[in-house]
Amino acid sequence: MTTSHGAAPAPGPGDEDLQSTDAARVEAVRDARLASDAERELVCEVLNGAFGEGRLTAAELDDRTSRALAARTHGDLDDVLVGLAGPGAAMPWATRPERGILPRLMFWVVGILTSPFVFVGSMFLLFGSDGGDRIFGIVLMALFLPGLIALYRWAHPQH
């Protein structure tokens, strides 16, 4: 909502409650996300490092390692690491690699420029009248589609 001058209104007395509720909801969703084997192994490496630094006893290492290997969610893994991460330190799974706007823009520009070739290649492959048309379609698809897929994966990292 904006005022008549186009500026956003000043925060009201209940806005802090809405922000804290949204933050709690986001944290609950993140904590409920299932952990991968690689993330469990990463937590075990953190635990071994903490043991090597003398921040955990052998019994604590054994207990926490067992809990880490049995963890199902990121919330479970966060519980295993309680007291080991510095204040404000992000957990390994809390950050998602972000490439920024330039790689995504580059993907869309290249995608728009190469999509006609991929389309024509697929049409020749599917509806070509003879073997030469189909081979031409395969060549066009082989030239343009793998690069487009690789560029997409680079511009939109998963984790």
Average pLDDT of the segment spanning 137-157: 89
In this prediction, residue 10 has a pLDDT band, given cuts at 50, 70 and 90, of low
Model confidence over 63-110: pLDDT tens digits? 999 999 998 888 888 888 888 765 445 555 555 556 678 888 888 999
**Structure confidence at residue 2 (pLDDT):** 45
Q: Which long-range contacts (CB under 8 A, 24 or more apart) does 87-92 make?
A: 92/39, 92/42, 92/43, 92/46
| CA atoms of 64 and 44, how far apart (whole Å) | 8
Q: From residue 38, how far is each of 3, 24, 41, 49, 159 by CA, in Å? A: 49, 26, 5, 16, 11
Which residue did the predictor score with more confidence, 8 or 153? 153
Same domain? For 118 and 139 the reply is yes
Helix, coil or strand: residue 129: coil
Same domain? For 66 and 43 the reply is yes
Domain ranges, residue 115? 101-155
- Looking at the DSSP bridge assignments, the partners of residue 73 are 34
Model confidence over 33-66: pLDDT tens digits? 788 888 888 888 889 988 988 889 999 999 999 9
Question: Which of 95, 125, 146 is the endpoint of a domain?
Answer: 95
Same domain? For 34 and 76 the reply is yes
9 within some domain: no
Percent of the chain predicted with pLDDT > 70 = 70
| CA atoms of 106 and 6, how far apart (whole Å) | 33
Same domain? For 123 and 83 the reply is no
Same domain? For 79 and 108 the reply is no
| CA atoms of 140 and 118, how far apart (whole Å) | 7
Mean pLDDT score across all residues of the chain: 79
Same domain? For 132 and 110 the reply is yes
State the sign of the Cα–Cα–Cα–Cα dihedral 7, 8, 11, 16. Answer: negative
Same domain? For 121 and 138 the reply is yes
**Structure confidence at residue 84 (pLDDT):** 79
